[in-house]
């Protein structure tokens, strides 16, 4: 009897896990869920279509202290940036130029943003627009039916996608130095070739005179 009970309990737990996973995967989600303070993070927003009509537009509000730096273009989608009076991006909107995100499909949108310098939480409010005119606002807390994603900004976060602002500047400087060195090497090589050709030309001229 105990063995049978354990088996049924195991089956129920497995079913609950899959139901929870299926529900969570149907939400608009921004990842990663942890990142380092002051980092330039590559974020990805996954947008699934839950209804029987396509998703045609998605607006993502930038959390306080998070600054959009760049975004990855997605074929079939136009991007519009809404900025405040200081020029800081308040939200980013992707609008489909074609059919949008079809039924039982999803689309990913990636961008790079600079994190706040202090530890805290970044809440990603998203607004999903469907072809029938309906809007789903992903702005609730984690227990709501339409929760927003939260990225924890913490010093304990480690990710391959994270680059600090200093590293970003250092990388740019390194690339610049590499380009300068490469240019100098090319110039030196061309100069040596020119000298060799000049010597050969003089040598040939001298032989012909003889």
Within a domain: 15: no
**Listed residues 160, 176, 198: the one ending a domain:** 160
Q: Which CATH number is 128's domain given?
A: 2.60.40.2230
Of residues 51 and 20, more confidence is placed in 51
Do 156 and 72 lie in one domain? The reply is: yes
Within a domain: 16: no
For residue 176, what pLDDT is reported?
45
- Closest C-alpha among 134, 58, 125 to residue 96: 58
Within a domain: 107: yes
Do 135 and 192 lie in one domain? The reply is: no
Q: Which residues, other chains included, contact 204 with Cβ-Cβ below 8 Å and sequence gap of 6+?
A: none
Do 141 and 199 lie in one domain? The reply is: no
Q: What are phi and psi of 71, to 5 degrees?
A: -135, 155
- Centre a 10 Å sphere on the Cβ of residue 161 and count the other Cβ atoms it contains: 15
In degrees to the nearest 10, what's the CA dihedral of 123, 45, 141, 81?
A: 50
For residue 106, what pLDDT is reported?
97
Of residues 1 and 54, more confidence is placed in 54
The answer to whether 126 and 111 have CB atoms below 8 angstroms apart is no
Within a domain: 126: yes
Within a domain: 18: no
Percent of the chain with pLDDT over 70: 66
For residue 16, what pLDDT is reported?
45
**Listed residues 127, 144, 160: the one ending a domain:** 160
Do 203 and 132 lie in one domain? The reply is: no
User: Tell me: the pLDDT tens digits for 108-131?
Assistant: 999 999 999 999 999 999 999 999
Per-residue pLDDT for 53 more than 70? Answer: yes
For residue 208, what pLDDT is reported?
66
Per-residue pLDDT for 22 more than 60? Answer: no
**Listed residues 160, 179, 202: the one ending a domain:** 160
Do 69 and 170 lie in one domain? The reply is: no
Do 135 and 46 lie in one domain? The reply is: yes
User: Tell me: the pLDDT tens digits for 143-199?
Assistant: 999 999 999 999 997 654 455 444 555 544 554 445 444 445 566 666 677 767 767
Within a domain: 45: yes
Per the structure, the complete domain to which residue 87 belongs is given by 26-160
Do 47 and 140 lie in one domain? The reply is: yes
Do 146 and 69 lie in one domain? The reply is: yes
Q: Is 147 helix (H, G, I), strand (E, B) or coil?
A: strand
From residue 41, alpha-carbon distances to 26, 90, 102 in Å are 24, 17, 29
Do 169 and 200 lie in one domain? The reply is: yes
Do 122 and 188 lie in one domain? The reply is: no
Within a domain: 8: no
Within a domain: 3: no
Residue with tokens 């039924």: 103
Per-residue pLDDT for 14 more than 70? Answer: no
Do 177 and 73 lie in one domain? The reply is: no
- Closest C-alpha among 24, 4, 26, 111 to residue 62: 111
Do 33 and 49 lie in one domain? The reply is: yes
Query: How many structural domains comprise the chain?
Result: 2
């Amino acid at each position: 009897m105990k063995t049978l009970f354990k088996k049924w309990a195991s089956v129920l737990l497995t079913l609950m896990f899959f139901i929870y996973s299926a529900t969570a995967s149907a939400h608009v989600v921004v990842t990663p869920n942890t990142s380092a303070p002051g980092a330039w993070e590559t974020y990805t927003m996954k947008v699934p279509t839950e209804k029987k009509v396509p998703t045609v537009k998605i607006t993502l509000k930038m959390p306080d202290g998070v600054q959009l730096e760049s975004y990855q273009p997605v074929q079939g989608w136009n991007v519009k940036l809404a900025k405040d009076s200081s020029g800081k991006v308040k939200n980013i909107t992707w609008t489909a130029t074609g059919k949008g995100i079809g039924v039982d499909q999803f689309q990913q949108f990636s961008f790079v943003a600079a994190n706040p310098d202090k530890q805290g939480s970044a809440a990603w409010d998203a607004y999903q627009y469907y072809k029938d005119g309906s809007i789903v606002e992903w702005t609730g807390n984690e227990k709501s039916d339409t929760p927003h994603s939260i990225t924890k900004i913490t010093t304990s976060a480690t990710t391959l996608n994270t680059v600090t602002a200093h590293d970003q500047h250092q990388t740019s400087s390194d690339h610049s130095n590499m380009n300068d060195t490469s240019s100098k090497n090319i110039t030196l090589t061309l100069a040596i070739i020119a000298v060799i050709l000049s010597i050969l030309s003089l040598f040939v001229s001298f032989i012909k005179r003889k």
